[in-house]
Amino acid sequence: MINRLRPVGPLVAVVIALIALFAFTTGTASAAPERRNLEFAAGANHATVSGEIDAGSPDTYLVEVAKNQRMEVAWSGSGVGMSIYKQGIKQAQYVSSPFDMAVTPGIYEVTVYASAAARYQLTVTIV
């Protein structure tokens, strides 16, 4: 016995398309980068973290800076890059290590990324 495919009606096609779209967006929602607060020890002006990242899975740290402060960022790791941007501003600044600048008060996102699996060490100093 040979099973033959029958054409489906437009309503069935729309339902199938919606199911596929829902499955795709549900599966990719967990891939959104996680943002973590960079924790400074009591009385410390710097914090250091180490980590491992895969291509397309950056690590993002939130750093709060007060008025009249400078932010210094240094990192190491083969094939590792860094971007920094202030929350609410859509343009990231891709920087080289070490990076030092006077910043306006606010919360900054410091993102470590790589084109392949890599280990990194990141130090942020607020002065």
pLDDT > 80? residue 15: no
Query: Which is higher by pLDDT, 27 or 4?
Result: 4
pLDDT per residue as tens digits for the range 71-80: 999 999 988 9
Q: Going by C-beta distance under 8 Å and a sequence separation of 6 or more, which residues neighbour residue 60?
A: 33, 34, 35, 36, 109, 110, 111, 112
CATH fold of 35-126: Jelly Rolls (2.60.120)
**Residue 39: per-residue pLDDT:** 92
Do strands 46-53 and 118-126 pair parallel, antiparallel, or not at all (unpaired)?
A: antiparallel
Q: Is the pTM of this model over 0.75?
A: no
Are the C-beta atoms of 124 and 38 separated by less than 8 Å? yes
pLDDT per residue as tens digits for the range 24-59: 444 444 455 678 999 999 999 999 999 999 988 999
| Nearest Cα residue to 87 out of 68, 112, 104 | 104
